[in-house]
Structure 1
Amino acid sequence: MVDIAGPIGPMASDRIAFVARRGVRVLLACVARSACAQQAPQDALHPAGVQAAHIVRLWHLSLIVCGAVFAAVLLATLVALVRRADRSGDTGSDRGGDRGGDEHAPLAQPQERGPQRAVAIVSIASVVVLLGLIVADVLTDRALSRLPVDNALHLEVTGQQWWWKIDYPSDAQQPGFSTANEFHVPAGRPVIIALKTTDVIHSFWMPNLHGKKDMLPGIDSTIEFRVDKTGIYRGQCAEYCGAEHAWMAMFVTADTPERYAQWRAQQATPAVAAALSPSDGLAQRGLQIFEQSSCANCHTVRGTSAQGTLGPDLTHLMSRQTIAAGVLSNTQQNLAAWIRDPNAVKPGTTMPTVPLSASDRQALVAWLGTLR
Structure 2
Amino acid sequence: MRAHSKASLSALLAVPLAGCGGNWQSALDVSGPAAISLKHLIVLIVAVCSVVWMLVMVVLILALWRKRDARPIAPEPARERRMTTAVVGAVVATVLIISTFTIMSFLATRALTVSGQDDLTIRVRGLQWWWGLEYVGPDPSQRFETANEIHIPVGRNVRLKLEGLDVIHSFWVPSLAGKQDLVPGRSNELTIRAERAGIYRGQCAEFCGMQHAHMALLVIAEPQDEFDSWVAAQRQASAQPADEREADPTSRPCRGRTR
User: TM (normalized to structure 1)?
Assistant: 0.57
Q: Does the alignment pair 1:290 with 2:255?
A: no
Q: What is the correspondence of 1:32-51 to structure 2 with a 5 Å cutoff?
A: 41-51=24-34
Give the structure 2 partner of residue 339 of structure 1: none
- 1:80 match: 63
| CA–CA separation in structure 1 for the residues paired with 2:219 and 2:145 | 14
Residue matched to 2:158: 191
| Count of residues paired in the alignment | 236
Match of 2:45 in 1: 62
| Structure 1 residue 198: Cα displacement | 1.2
Separation in 2 of the partners of 1:167 and 1:192?
A: 12
Write out aligned runs for 1:135-284 (5 A): 135-147=103-115, 149-169=116-136, 172=139, 175-272=142-239, 276-277=241-242
SS for the counterpart of 2:230 is helix
Does the Cα contact within 8 Å between 2:112 and 2:178 map onto a contact in 1? Answer: no
In 2 relative to 1, CA 172–125 (structure 1 residues): closer, same or farther, beyond 3 Å? Answer: closer
1:308-327 residue pairs with structure 2 within 5 A?
none
- SS of 1:45 mapped into structure 2: coil
Give, in angstroms, the shift of residue 177 of structure 1. 2.0
- Correspondence for 1:127: 95
CA distance in 1, matches of 2:60, 2:99: 25
Preserved CA contact (<8 Å) 2:149 2:218 = yes
Between Structure 1 and Structure 2, which shows a larger proportion of strand residues? Answer: 2
Residue in structure 2 matched with residue 320 of structure 1 by the alignment: none
Q: Is the 8 A contact 2:23 2:29 kept in 1?
A: no
3-state SS, counterpart of residue 122 of structure 2: strand
Change (3 A) 1:197 1:184: same
- Percent identity, aligned pairs only, is 35
Contact 1:150–1:190 under 8 Å retained in 2: no
* Change beyond 3 A, Cα 1:198–1:142: closer
Match of 1:208, SS state, is coil
SS of equivalent to 2:142: coil
* Structure with more of its chain in helix, by fraction: 1
**Structure with larger Rg:** 1
How far apart, CA to CA, are the structure 1 residues paired with 2:215 and 2:23? Answer: 15
Q: For the residues of structure 1 that align with 2:31 and 2:170, how far apart are their CA atoms? A: 20
Match for 2:36 among 39, 47, 53? 53
- For residues 251-286 of structure 1, give each alpha carbon's deviation from its aligned partner in whole angstroms, at most 9, with x where no partner exists: 01011111111111112223346xx328xxxxx84x
Q: What is the CA RMSD across the aligned residues, in angstroms?
A: 2.8
| CA pair 205-221 structure 1, distance change in 2 beyond 3 A | same
Residue ranges of structure 2 left out of the alignment (5+ in a row) = 1-20
Task: Provide the C-alpha distance between the structure 1 equivalents of 2:94 and 2:40, rounded to a whole number of angstroms.
Answer: 21
In the alignment, the residues of structure 2 paired with residue 209 and residue 74 of structure 1 have an alpha-carbon distance, to the nearest angstrom, of 37
